[in-house]
């Protein structure tokens, strides 16, 4: 019975395959056996001449390669000076890979440097030295183009990324930092004309380059759209930040903010102008709300002494018949609120009904009395 290592060497020498998995080795052996029916190495016949020596030679080469593997680590175990200098070299390399991103180009370089930094830190950990953590990246925001991509734009993007314009599969386009294609293929069994057949379907998801970065503590906004980099400075007295609603411009003096609708096609200066316009509208709305609240407070305070007549209800938009029927349900006498010399009914009593039409009548009566007093 051969071990997997022995079987691997056996099949590799026999067939010339580079397979290392059990499945690949078995397939290689079966294919070789079909092509060479005269050699049944796993039957009662003897192996070909020279096979045993070749097997020993391959085992010896593999053993030598294992002894020569990772020579720097082995030398570092016995040579303290070499180990110290090697750690210094690794730390310099790690420092280069952990420089903070200051622009779009250095931000994209982090995607390439991340696996390199992992390898350097793994080597440092093996030597018992301190690893350097990856730098904190600036906040990035994907910027989907405001308009649908045209057929020409799609073909250009597919050509840049490597997609075939002749491919009939379904393509999906989405904003990303690095141009790339994710291909998803699946098989489905369908029955047609009484027989089953397998149909292969494919989808392609393309990430086209379209994103923005917040740099220098919110003082710089830089975008990269389809390879074009644009850099903007935040207006004086403002900072570019982000929250759960997305990108926003914040005024440093009072903390008021503005979320741009199309950050990919507008500038921070335009955001500041929109913030100023929104301020005017918000201030006006707050003033109207304050005036309304003050007006209502005066109205409620005077409602205790306000006397409401049928004419007040009609002026508020209520019909006479409905007002009289409402008064009958409250047990009021018509002569108490209808007529020139009628005393009217209590506004406070009508407000306690919580009927909106009754409140309108009380408000009309209060405005009449207030106008007369003025």
**Residue at a domain's end among 45, 68, 91:** 68
pLDDT at residue 189 in the model: 80
Given a contact cutoff of 8 angstroms between Cβ atoms, the answer to whether 207 and 186 are in contact is no
- Residue range(s) defining the domain that contains residue 364: 303-373
**Residue at a domain's end among 22, 41, 68:** 68
Residue 313 inside a domain? The answer is yes
234 vs 252: CA distance, rounded Å = 11
**Residue at a domain's end among 211, 229, 250:** 211
pLDDT at residue 45 in the model: 47
Alpha helices (H) in the chain, listed in sequence order: 4-15, 22-35, 51-68, 71-78, 80-97, 104-126, 151-161, 268-302, 310-315, 320-329, 334-337, 347-351, 356-373
How many other CB atoms sit within 10 Å of the CB of residue 238? 22
Specify the pairing of strand 195-215 against strand 180-192: antiparallel
Residue 247 inside a domain? The answer is no
- Shared domain check, 357 and 321: yes
189 vs 194: CA distance, rounded Å = 13
Residue 212 gets the label, from left (phi > 0), alpha (psi -120 to 50) or beta, of beta
Question: Of how many residues is the chain composed?
Answer: 374
pTM score over 0.85: no
303 vs 347: CA distance, rounded Å = 5
- Shared domain check, 185 and 130: no
Residue 190 φ/ψ, nearest 5 degrees: -125, 150
- Shared domain check, 24 and 10: yes
Residue 50 inside a domain? The answer is yes
- Shared domain check, 166 and 124: no
Residue 14 inside a domain? The answer is yes
Given a contact cutoff of 8 angstroms between Cβ atoms, the answer to whether 229 and 222 are in contact is yes
Residue 244 inside a domain? The answer is no
- Shared domain check, 133 and 95: yes
- Shared domain check, 154 and 126: no
Q: Which two three-digit tokens encode residue 269?
A: 């200066």
Residue 254 inside a domain? The answer is no
> How many domains does the chain divide into?
4
pLDDT at residue 325 in the model: 83
Q: Which two three-digit tokens encode residue 321?
A: 């018949």
What is the DSSP track for 226-254?
TTEEEEEEPPTTEEEEEETTEEEEEETTT
- Shared domain check, 206 and 186: yes
Residue 114 inside a domain? The answer is yes
- Residues of the chain falling short of pLDDT 50: 1, 41-45, 372-374
Residue 225 inside a domain? The answer is no
Given a contact cutoff of 8 angstroms between Cβ atoms, the answer to whether 201 and 216 are in contact is no
- Shared domain check, 151 and 122: no
- Shared domain check, 81 and 44: no
Q: Which residues does residue 143 pair with via DSSP β-bridges, in sequence order?
A: none
């Amino acid at each position: 019975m051969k071990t997997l290592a022995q079987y691997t060497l056996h099949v590799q020498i026999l067939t010339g395959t580079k397979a290392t998995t059990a499945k690949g080795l078995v397939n290689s052996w079966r294919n070789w056996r079909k092509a060479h029916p005269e050699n049944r190495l796993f039957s009662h016949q003897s192996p070909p001449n020279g096979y045993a020596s070749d097997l020993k030679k391959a085992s010896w080469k593999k053993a030598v390669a294992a002894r020569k593997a990772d020579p720097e680590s082995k030398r570092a175990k016995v040579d303290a000076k070499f180990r110290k200098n090697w750690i210094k070299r690794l730390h310099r390399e790690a420092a280069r890979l952990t420089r903070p991103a200051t622009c779009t180009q250095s931000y994209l370089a982090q995607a390439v440097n991340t696996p390199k930094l992992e390898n350097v830190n793994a080597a440092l950990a093996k030597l018992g030295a301190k690893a350097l953590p990856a730098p904190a990246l600036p906040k990035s925001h994907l910027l989907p183009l405001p308009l649908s991509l045209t057929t020409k734009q799609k073909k250009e993007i597919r050509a840049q990324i490597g997609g075939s314009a002749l491919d009939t599969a379904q393509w999906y386009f989405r904003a990303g930092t690095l141009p790339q294609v994710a291909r998803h293929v699946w098989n489905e069994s369908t029955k047609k004309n009484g027989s089953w057949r397998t149909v292969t379907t494919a989808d392609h998801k393309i990430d086209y380059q379209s994103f923005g970065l917040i740099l220098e503590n919110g003082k710089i906004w830089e975008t990269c759209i389809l390879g074009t980099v644009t850099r903007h400075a935040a207006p004086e007295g403002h900072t570019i930040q982000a929250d759960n609603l997305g990108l926003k411009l914040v005024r440093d003096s009072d903390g008021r903010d503005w979320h741009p609708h199309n950050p990919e096609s507008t500038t921070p200066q335009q955001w500041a102008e929109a913030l100023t316009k929104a301020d005017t509208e918000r201030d006006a709305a707050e003033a109207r709300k304050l005036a309304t609240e003050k007006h209502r407070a005066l109205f409620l305070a005077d409602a205790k002494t306000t006397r409401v007549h049928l004419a007040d209800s009609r002026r508020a938009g209520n019909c006479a018949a409905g007002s009289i029927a409402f008064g009958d349900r409250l047990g009021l006498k018509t002569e108490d609120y209808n007529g020139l010399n009628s005393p009217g009914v209590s506004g406070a009593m009508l407000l306690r009904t919580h009927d909106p039409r009754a409140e309108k009548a009380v408000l009309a009566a209060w405005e009449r009395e207030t106008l007369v007093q003025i």
